[in-house]
Amino acid sequence: MTDTLENSENDKISTGFSDILSFDTLNLDAQSFKTVSTKYISEIDKMDITSEEKPSIGGFFKDLKKWLSKDKQRKKENGFNDFLGYYECLNTSELLNKKITLSTARIDLHEGESVVEGKNIVITKIQNVPYIENASLFIITGKGRNRKGKLYKNFPEWIKDDSIKNLIDGEPIKGDGTYEVFIKRVYNGENNKGNNFYSIDDKDLNEWKENAKNNNNMKYKMALAGYYMKGPKENHNEAKFWYKQAEKLGSLEAKLCLGYMHSIGKLDFDPKKAKVFFKGVINKLEKPKNDEEKELSRIAMRNMALIYHNSHLKRPLEVGNLTEVKNLSDFKVNNLAKIKLKTAFRWYEKSFDLYDSQSAYNLGLLYESDDGIKKDEKQAEYYFRKAIDYDKNNIIAKKKLGNILYNKEDENAKVEGLALLTEVASIGLE
């Protein structure tokens, strides 16, 4: 299904990963997603290390300290440009006049950001939200009397900044130490109204609730879940309840959306549970029979990739991953990060094979970044072009491809690149 260029060039990924340990030396499916910090370091002594003993522990701590120092500097210099993955949820209940899709990225400001740094991160990420339907940012500020309380208190002022106030769709949804910001976009002269809340009158809502009590009535359960996930009375506890009821009846969309909720942290942040739900969708749709099943499968695969991709960037060393490491020499933070990136790459490829535009775009980013995968402009160009082939409205892929083509010496490439960049500029994306 993939083209000749992709097949011929794809072996280069092995070059990018050639210096890491075997893919099977870590049990990535059992990860606990605990970020290593000083309070977790003592747990390392309890792990089952089979072939080497403590003489190399000092080297491990030295490696960890070096990585933390470099990562702190990287974030200071270029952290605003870090990859941000958008998890997707889909609800096509026949009672909903328009299917509900949600694409949400999680931003956690719990890593010591000052008020100024937090504001800059939020503004930058809002400015760079991709042109996808129903995009939102789920931002965790924390709350209280300390620094986290200041972030929470100052957030409403941040989003009044002139550079982003016209990008925000309505008032942010305030949670317990969180805010969810919905983004509005204009493309092809039309407002993207997909971020508006789904609204029904009280009579219909009561009818849905009454019919949902029927144990076998899945469509009303899914309709209620969608309403509470994205409605004027947004209630994540209610949404989760109805999704779980529908999932028990076999709804794969409900399973996908439960995984989405755990990935973002709506109610509770638990990527391990999220993976179980996403894999449940993937396993049920091993051989998708129609376009609807293909869409569900590729979204679940992309969501799986995002869990590993985001974890690679933010938590390359997590204690729960280390129980099957065979050698202390494997305790290289960069090695562990690359293993996760390799896993993400594989899931992106699976989703790409089902014609997923966002996965194609993310593969292009990986080949463009030179972060864990050897930089390859031809491969980046290939995947950005495929992202556009799969979705003509993937404007951010057009921007990436336009820049690559415009900087070539070939005149035809320059003309094509200029046309793409002109289209991008026409909607205000710099």
Contact of 385 with 399, CB cutoff 8 Å: no
- Picking from 408, 335, 373, 377, the residue whose alpha carbon sits closest to that of residue 64 is 335
Query: How far is the C-alpha of 288 from the C-alpha of 257, rounded, in Å?
Result: 19
Amino acid at 360: A
> Tell me, what DSSP letter sits at residue 104?
E
Contact of 64 with 36, CB cutoff 8 Å: yes
Q: Hunting for tokens 């695969």 — which residue is that?
A: 301
Taking the CA atoms of residue 244, residue 104, residue 421 and residue 341 in that order, the dihedral angle to the nearest 10 degrees is: -90
pLDDT, residue 331, reads 52
pLDDT, residue 8, reads 40
User: Number of C-alpha atoms within 13 angstroms, CB side, residue 36?
Assistant: 25
Query: For residue 187, how many other CB atoms are within 10 A of its CB?
Result: 13
DSSP assignment of 288-333 equals --SHHHHHHHHHHHHHHHHHHHHHHHH-S--GGGGGG---GGG--H
Using DSSP's 3-state secondary structure scheme, residue 102 falls into: strand
Using DSSP's 3-state secondary structure scheme, residue 160 falls into: coil
For residue 178, list its beta bridge partners.
140
Exposure of 406 by Cβ count < 10 A (0-12 exposed, 13-18 middle, 19+ buried)? middle
φ, ψ of residue 237 in degrees (nearest 5): -65, -45
Q: 278 vs 47, 61, 239, 254, 337, CA distance in Å? A: 29, 35, 18, 10, 22
For residue 168, list its beta bridge partners.
183
pLDDT, residue 59, reads 66
Amino acid at 389: D
Sheet containing strand 178-182, strands side by side:
87-91, 100-108, 135-140, 178-182, 173-174
Query: Could you give the residue range(s) of every CATH 3.30.1370.110 domain in the chain?
Result: 99-195
Contact of 82 with 92, CB cutoff 8 Å: no
- Picking from 412, 366, 369, 404, the residue whose alpha carbon sits closest to that of residue 385 is 404
Query: For residue 174, how many other CB atoms are within 10 A of its CB?
Result: 12
Structure tokens at 34: 């605990």
pLDDT, residue 200, reads 80
For residue 174, list its beta bridge partners.
179
Profile the chain (430 residues) by mean pLDDT over runs of 10 residues.
Answer: 43 42 34 31 32 49 69 61 86 82 90 84 88 86 78 93 89 89 66 55 90 87 91 87 96 97 91 95 94 96 94 52 45 68 94 97 92 90 98 92 96 97 81
Query: How far is the C-alpha of 88 from the C-alpha of 43, rounded, in Å?
Result: 34
pLDDT, residue 316, reads 47
pLDDT, residue 160, reads 93
Print burial letters for 258-284: b (CB count within 10 Å at least 16), e (below 16).
bbbbbbbbbeebbbeebbebbbbbbee
Does 99-195 carry CATH code 3.30.1370.110? yes
| pLDDT tens string 370-391 | 777 889 999 999 999 999 999 9
| pLDDT tens string 50-62 | 333 344 556 666 7
Which pTM was predicted? 0.81
Query: For residue 303, how many other CB atoms are within 10 A of its CB?
Result: 26
pLDDT, residue 334, reads 62
Contact of 71 with 113, CB cutoff 8 Å: no
